[in-house]
Structure 1
Amino acid sequence: MLEFLDFEALRSIGLRAPILQQLNTLMLDPAVRLMRVVELQREHLLLHDGQALARGRLDHALIRLLDSGDDAVAVGDWVLGRPDPPLGWRVVDRLTPSTQLSRRTNDGRGSPQRQVLVANVDAALLVMGLDHDFNLRRLERYLALVRLAGIAAALVLTKADQAEPSLMARRIEQASGCVPEGTPVFALDGRDPASAAALAPWLVAGQTLVLLGSSGAGKSTLTNTLTGQALQYTGPVRDDDSRGRHTTTTRTLHRTPSGACIIDTPGLRALRLDVGDEQQLQQVFGDIARWATACRFRNCRHQEEPGCAVRAEVAPERVRNFHKLQREAKRDTLTALEKREVVSQWKARGRAAAQRIRAKRSG
């Protein structure tokens, strides 16, 4: 198939070696085209072949195949399409992504469901405002999200033009202490063209970056600045909490003048990590994993045990957040029977507490 590809055009939308290696194993006719998913809509998706945008629809067989593996096509995926006039293109296959960012959502019946956010990204820019949006516990969740996916990250603190110098310095120090060692921290005005120069080392040709953060953090404003175009609509934030109004409603891939690709994303109202087990979570909290080896007990839970090095060396708020994420991960991996047992235990505890209260009142 390689002889039919326009490599220069495909590199301009982020074609990388892992995808090329997969293509070497395929034998397809010239009618099949390699394209990248740049946006998902309810009824169709937008595809790009490096030269032009086109509409497409997923083949039903591909949807069933991905559903069976708890998977889905996402913005950033590389797919194979066949001409399907007058609809445009029919997507018949999805190449295995080199990376995926995913979270757990509720399916409406109380069961967690995996949702793929983006695919084939090389790095993440974690965007957080220096205003009321600043939240270290939420930052820890986003850091865990990208580290679970094996993706490099940089922290971008926006609205530096609106922050008092003393407040900005304090929050930069707090954020720097929260991120893993070596993670770059930028404080900038997302509207200033100088932001593109500051982030230039991350905007290398062929790289794909995803912007992650809450609504109102300034992701779309930064996207417009980095692309040099007003591609994304931006709106005001509330004065009381600096939260936005979800002006960005879809994940969209854009190209920058430097040749990098950027995926702008809506703010996530809830971010439950897609974690397989508690040990996996501990590894992404590097400082906790490091100090855990110094605990007195090998099976220390870092709660009430004596001689816990983690509680002695790590900030209490961070340890509490780690325990909260652990509980979420455990709930998401429970079977239906185990969930019923947990509910029964909580009900029994509630009845016992009510009986103790009545006994005290009557006594």
Structure 2
Amino acid sequence: MRFDEFQTHRQQQLAADPSLLDAAETNVYRALAPLRPEPPADGSAGGDGDGGRTVYRCDLARAWLRRYGLPEAWSRRAMVGRGVRHGLDLLFRHLHGTGARLWLPADVYPVYFDLARAAGLAPGSYPTLPAPVLPPDPSDGECPEYLLLANPSKPLGRHLTDAECAALTGWLERSAHRRLLIDAVYDLDTPFAPGTRRLLDTGRAVLLHSVTKGWLHPRSFGIVLLGPDDTAAAEAFRGDPPAQQQLRLAESLLADHPDTPRQVAAALADRAERLFARLPAEVRAAVPAAARTSPGNYFFPVAVPAPALLAEHGVLALPATAFGASTWPGSVLTSLADAFAPSAPTVQNAPSTQNAPTVEATR
């Protein structure tokens, strides 16, 4: 069942039986709206006018590198864009021009495939549920080859393990033509997770990050940190920059709201505990410990089919197929529904959610 099909099914089920435990909400922007920082007072987050001073991309790149404990000398490789989706769109178009082979996770984010195909690529896939399984080595080892992964990963709800990072490093070492693309949009901590830093240290990884999850501002600002040998892609980013309104918003988020990602992670941890408290004991026991303890996580895979959770426990969960072409029969619980919200908002002057994205899929 695809994501859009499941959303229709979910609404039908909740309308027919309001007593169901809704563990299938995916709109983090609506759930955490009180934590979303207000745009700068000059209104620079929206509209087409200039309306303010000039913000330079190089300054934002250095500010982002400082925040995440990365060398400021890498600023020439830190491409400023409008988020992970925008970065992938430009990268995929560049890869098509080089004749590269691309591997995508089959069951993480269906839009990965949409972006790749729109760029003219014919991506291969590999599963991540219930654990990542890297693609086989091709017979043609001379073709440029890129593998996209997410760390932390939805819907696994956890970071890569040491063994998985070792497997990825081994995959790189088996061909000089291989590179990694790391989507770190769900990493709310500073610095980035040890596994991400370990893979960056190979010198053969591209890192993508944005303010989408940590600051709840989708499609506004992101960074693509190119690898030392991937700088040929830089020209595409220089030719398609964010608007000044978006750059001023990014400056405000990084400078004036540095604690928001921690607040988001804390709010999600509270919601997770409320979810676990409402789950039947045997369902709660099926949640992997790594997902349950991962900071800022709101995806919890369980090796129980969604229809069984619904019929036997009255729990509405997402089937794994909502995330892509998964053959894993399990399902994914989320902690974003109103049932897991705090009893009263803790932040004043919450912005309107009228224009918030209606699905989690925005990055």
- Report the TM range for the smaller structure's normalisation: under 0.3
Which structure carries more strand by proportion? Answer: 1
Larger-Rg structure: 1
Relative CO higher for 1 or 2, CA cutoff 8 Å, sep ≥ 6?
2
Tell me the TM-score normalized by structure 2.
0.25
